[in-house]
Amino acid sequence: MPEAPDLEVIREYLTNHVIDADITEATVIKPSVLRSLDGDMTADILGRSLEFVERQGKFLLIRLSGDRMLVINPMLTGMFQHCTPKTRVFKRTCLTFDLSDGTQLRYLDDKQMGLFYYIQSDQLHEVPRLSEQGPDVLDGMTLEEFQQRLKRFLGEIKGILTRGAVLSGIGNAHSDEILFDAQIYPFRKRKSLSDEELQRILDSSRSVVENAIPILRKPMADNIHVKVRDFLKVHNKGGEPCPRCGHQISEITANKRITSYCRQCQPGMLLRN
């Protein structure tokens, strides 16, 4: 799943490489991902220029000329590719946009679970889940605000972080990294966490994401469609030694989601109903 660090690198890349280019052709290969709230996108988008790219949590927003927008919720496997039109088209390619500079911007989605919206700017509030996100993980939040936003959630802290209503931009991989950095057991119930532990989670949320961005810039470089996870300390590294204490990293799979943590650094007990 693309998370805040991945999407920040993609946002930077698109800002540096496609802004001010005009869209000369749009092709829908797999219509299941497209949600057009403004008629036929392939006709209406022609001639519009890409003006600005921003990230809101796990969404990318591309502002176009003439009061139009592309709003992308990549979900599990959505990603962008920027290349020449002659580059081999992957089977997971869903949409392509030919640009006036001779390049092509593609949206890829292996599972076709992502949602790609073409809207007028005043329809932004109609995009599902966008307004349901909490403040962005990089925006900064006080402990008091964090505590207040957590009050309506009673579940496990990892699940709360990944749903995005308290802090947005955090997914499965980086929630493992945040809780490892904060030395918090991922299955701890929210009510069991002290103020000091909540502060550690809040601090780690921002620092882990901030530190990941420069690490991702180099391997993603011109290949923004590549998912890079080998730099992570614990996520998906079950059985390997913990980089902090050397204890074997534990891994649990539940609801098709991997949770990786160190039992030594993040002690706790998994309770089952």
> In CATH, what number is assigned to the domain containing residue 121?
3.20.190.10
Of 71, 95, 126, the domain-final residue: 126
Residues 84 and 196 in one domain: no
Q: Which amino acid is at 219?
A: P
Q: Per the domain annotation, does 84 fall within a domain? A: yes
Which tokens in the block code for residue 86? 């002659």
Query: Mean pLDDT, to the nearest integer, of 207-222?
Result: 94
Q: Does the global pTM surpass 0.85? A: yes
- Are 66 and 170 part of one and the same domain? no
Residue 181 sits in the same domain as residue 113: no
Q: How far is CA 180 from CA 161, 175, 211, 212, 259, in A?
A: 13, 8, 14, 14, 11
pLDDT at 271 over 60: no
User: Which domain, by its residues, includes 234?
Assistant: 143-262
**Same domain flag for 74 and 28:** yes
- Cβ atoms 266, 233 nearer than 8 A: no
Q: What is the number of domains present in the chain?
A: 2
Given 126, 155, 176, which residue is the final one in a domain?
A: 126
Does 249 reside within a domain? yes
Domain harbouring 236, CATH code = 1.10.8.50
| Final residue of a structural domain among 78, 96, 126 | 126
Chain segment 95-152, per-residue pLDDT in tens: 999 999 999 999 999 999 999 999 999 999 999 999 999 999 999 899 999 999 999 9
Does 150 share its domain with 122?
no
In a domain, 138, yes or no: no
* pLDDT tens-digit readout, 10-40: 999 999 999 999 999 999 999 999 998 878 9
